[in-house]
């Protein structure tokens, strides 16, 4: 049976036409997950999943189904779920079961989607390779020696290995786009504030944004329709007045690309970009020209500063957000301790992994009295300059382009265990961080393969960045490419 290779769109039709049942579909995916050796799933509960599937079948029979009813989905383990454990990839929350569902989970449940389980990720979403999970790394389905990217590595691997037709991810500095690129799937990080952060375990609140990942842009539009919208329980959720309106993100999917101006930033094609990635991205740009678009050379001069700025702002916010994990209210508590201070220290030393501890230290340092102006405030100023770089080319009557395109990452997926230096991981985020700092929407779509320094076949992603609220446009720009190419249809061997 090849139900697992179908897109959400196709599965939706089969379900509505009663050619398959939600229960059959859920069982088929659960069986695949059980056999998988990728370590993509952290928590699976057959009974919970099948209960949701039975509800979906009843809804389809009663004629009250939505297009997503009965379609399976899995959630990054950063979204809290009633029933399934919610660990954020951390020992700190190893046994944590949330008493409520994240807004995003609630919305998918309300649409009738069937949850397959929770997906592995870097601890508290800090990482670029999914090697920082307390529950072990995830393997890249294309090449088991390679990382799947991070921090939503379990999410991307699950879609690539066809263990789920769609998943959720979160992107703070690239964690939807980069693993999507490394695993050859499609993912979109929406405009900051579009998707509720309520029940999304916080890393860096001013950057964190949830989004969908799937095989196609069309599927991402379907998922984003259910996922986005104002939420009064998230204080940074965009209100309707601010533009956080419910919309059909698939409404533009059939717009032709004639006249589309694509900005090509010179900073995204400089030193450090691997030849195999550059070749695939340039070929994709040429395809867009064939489809009627024009290429415009642009400059985003502050791109290089995104790394130092992000790696101060994100840890600063993380150090504050993670102070709640103190052994008193949540999760892990050390066994033997002398007094309260000792309990805090031992609990946090045992519960947090090395990368999380490193970020708490950096974050606390840059927020210290005496260093605040020199580091944190300066980083915030750079953040403003980075946003202005984008504004200059994308906004207003002087805009020179409608979207921006370039690589998602400088290389294809690297080998598991090969990049142990944290700074080497940080540098690989060069093309994704500035979009996050500016709060802009960005996508990754598969556009070819490279080899890295090996003989394996490792996917390359094309990044598409747009102005605030331009998700529908981005999804169409991606969809048109996917109508004209086959990259998104490729699957790892043996699928």
Q: Is 349 helix (H, G, I), strand (E, B) or coil?
A: helix
Angle at 430 between CA 274 and CA 445, to 5 degrees: 70
Site string for ligand GLN, 207-246 (x = CB under 6 A): ----------------------------------------
Residue closer to ligand GLN, measured from CB, 60 or 413 = 413
Cis peptide before 151 (omega within 30 of 0): yes
Looking at 12, 151, 237, 347, which residue binds ligand GLN (CB under 6 A)? 151
Site string for ligand GLN, 263-302 (x = CB under 6 A): ----------------------------------------
Residue closer to ligand GLN, measured from CB, 218 or 429 = 429
Minimum Å distance from CB 406 to ligand GLN? 17
Minimum Å distance from CB 162 to ligand GLN? 24
Closest residue to ligand GLN, judged by C-beta, is 175
Helix, strand, coil tally for the chain in percent (to 5) = 40, 15, 45
Question: For ligand GLN, which stretch binds (CB under 6 A), given 156-164, 168-176, 291-299, 380-388?
Answer: 168-176
Beta-bridged to residue 79, according to DSSP, are 200
The residue count for binding ligand GLN (CB under 6 A) is: 13
Site string for ligand GLN, 424-453 (x = CB under 6 A): -----x------------------------
Question: Under the phi-then-psi rule, with left for phi > 0, alpha for psi from -120 to 50, and beta for the rest, what region is 472?
Answer: alpha
End-to-end CA distance of the chain: 11
Looking at 52, 106, 130, 175, which residue binds ligand GLN (CB under 6 A)? 175
Catalytic (active-site) positions: 76, 151, 175
Minimum Å distance from CB 452 to ligand GLN? 18
Contact 148, 156 (CB under 8 A): yes
User: Is 155 a binder of ligand GLN (CB under 6 A)?
Assistant: no
Of 306, 311, 318, 437, nearest in space to 376 by CA? 311
Contact 370, 379 (CB under 8 A): no
Q: Which residues contact 95 (CB under 8 A, 6 or more apart)?
A: 85, 331
The 10 Å Cβ neighbour count of residue 407 is: 26
Looking at 127, 153, 442, 492, which residue binds ligand GLN (CB under 6 A)? 127
Question: For ligand GLN, which stretch binds (CB under 6 A), given 66-74, 126-134, 299-307, 447-455?
Answer: 126-134
Looking at 111, 116, 125, 281, which residue binds ligand GLN (CB under 6 A)? 125
Task: Give the DSSP letter of residue 138.
Answer: P
User: Is 131 a binder of ligand GLN (CB under 6 A)?
Assistant: no
Minimum Å distance from CB 433 to ligand GLN? 7
Question: Under the phi-then-psi rule, with left for phi > 0, alpha for psi from -120 to 50, and beta for the rest, what region is 196?
Answer: beta
- H-helix or E-strand containing 262? strand 261-265
Residue closer to ligand GLN, measured from CB, 219 or 429 = 429
How far apart are alpha carbons 10 and 176 in whole angstroms?
23
Q: Which residues of the chain form contacts with ligand GLN (CB under 6 A)?
A: 125-128, 151, 171-175, 203, 314, 429
């Amino acid at each position: 049976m090849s139900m697992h290779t179908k897109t959400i769109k196709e599965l939706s039709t089969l379900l509505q036409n009663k050619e398959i049942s939600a229960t059959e579909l859920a069982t088929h995916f659960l069986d695949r997950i059980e056999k998988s050796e990728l370590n993509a799933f952290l928590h699976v509960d057959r009974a919970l999943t099948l209960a949701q599937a039975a509800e979906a079948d009843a809804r389809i029979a009663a004629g009250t189904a939505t297009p997503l009813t009965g379609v399976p989905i899995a959630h990054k383990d950063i979204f809290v779920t009633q029933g399934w454990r919610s660990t954020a990839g951390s020992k700190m929350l190893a046994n944590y079961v949330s008493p409520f569902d994240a807004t995003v989970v609630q919305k998918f449940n309300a649409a009738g989607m069937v949850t397959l389980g929770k997906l592995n990720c870097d601890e508290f979403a800090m990482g670029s390779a999914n090697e920082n999970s307390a529950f072990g790394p995830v393997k890249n389905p294309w090449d088991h020696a390679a990382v799947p990217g991070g921090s939503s590595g379990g999410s991307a691997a699950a879609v690539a290995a066809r263990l789920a037709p769609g998943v959720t991810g979160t992107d703070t500095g690239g964690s939807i786009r980069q693993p999507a690129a490394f695993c050859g799937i499609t993912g979109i990080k929406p405009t900051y504030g579009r998707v509720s952060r309520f029940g999304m375990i916080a890393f860096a609140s001013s950057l964190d944004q949830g989004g969908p990942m799937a095989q196609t842009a069309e599927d991402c539009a379907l998922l984003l329709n259910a996922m986005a919208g104002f939420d009064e329980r998230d204080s940074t959720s965009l209100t309707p007045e601010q533009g956080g309106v419910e919309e059909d993100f698939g409404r533009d999917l059939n717009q032709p690309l004639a006249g589309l101006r694509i900005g090509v930033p010179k900073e995204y094609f400089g030193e450090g970009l691997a030849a195999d990635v550059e070749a695939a991205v340039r070929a994709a740009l040429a395809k867009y020209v064939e489809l009627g678009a024009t290429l415009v050379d642009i400059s985003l001069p502050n791109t290089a500063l995104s790394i130092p700025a992000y790696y101060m702002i994100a840890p600063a916010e993380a150090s504050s957000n993670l102070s709640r994990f103190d052994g008193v209210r949540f999760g892990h508590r050390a066994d033997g301790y002398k007094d309260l201070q000792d309990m805090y220290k031992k609990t946090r030393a045992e519960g947090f992994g090395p990368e999380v501890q490193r970020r708490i230290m950096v974050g606390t340092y840059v927020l210290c009295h005496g260093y605040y102006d020199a580091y944190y405030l300066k980083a915030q100023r750079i953040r403003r300059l980075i946003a202005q770089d984008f504004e200059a080319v994308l906004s207003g009557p002087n805009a020179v382009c409608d979207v921006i395109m370039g690589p998602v990452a400088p290389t294809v997926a690297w080998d598991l265990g090969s990049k142990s230096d944290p700074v080497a991981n940080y540098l690989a985020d060069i093309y994704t961080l500035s979009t996050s700092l500016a709060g802009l929407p960005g996508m990754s779509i598969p556009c070819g393969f490279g080899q890295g320094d090996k003989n394996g076949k490792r996917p390359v992603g094309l990044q598409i960045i747009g102005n605030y609220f331009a998700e529908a446009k981005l999804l169409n720009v991606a969809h048109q490419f996917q109508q004209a190419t086959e990259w998104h249809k490729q699957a790892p061997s043996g699928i």
